[in-house]
Each structure stands twice: as structure tokens, then as C-alpha cells.
Amino acid sequence: MKFERKHAILLLAVAAWNVISFGNFAKNLYGAYESGEERATGYWVAHTVLIVVNMAIAAALGSLGVKALRSTRDA
């Protein structure tokens, strides 16, 4: 499969969406923790892992998007 410019833009848009949405989620989760919200430890761990995994996915998609964008410029 050959990446086109539209594919690169889509990958970058999804990566940006993940960073924005899960960044906001991380901020809200931290705020809840700091305010003393009582939850089971598993809640905090599970949501933190979810945030980390989605940020890693965003990094991977962003990297692919940048590579695809560069390859479309060179062609």
C-alpha cells in the first residue's frame, strides 16, 4: 500500500486527537486524585495505564504520519 497525503493527515489528526483527549483525561484524573477522591487503587492504576498506552499509540501514529507526509513531499 502506498501512503498518500490524505493518509498522512488522517494519521496525524488521530494522533493529535489522542493527545488532546487523553491529556485532558489525565488532567482530570490527577485533579480527582489531588482532591482526595476515594477510589480503589485498581481504578487509578487502570486509568493511568490506559492513558500511557494511548499516548504511546499517539506517538506511533504521529511518527507514521510524519514519515508518510515526508514521503509524499519527496515524491
Mean pLDDT of the chain: 94
61: domain range?
Answer: 5-74
Q: What is the pTM of this model?
A: 0.87
Domains in the chain: how many in total? 1
Check residue 64 and give its pLDDT: 95
Please count the CA atoms within 13 angstroms of the CA of 37 that sit on its side-chain side.
Answer: 11
Beta strand ranges found along the chain (DSSP E): none
Check residue 73 and give its pLDDT: 83
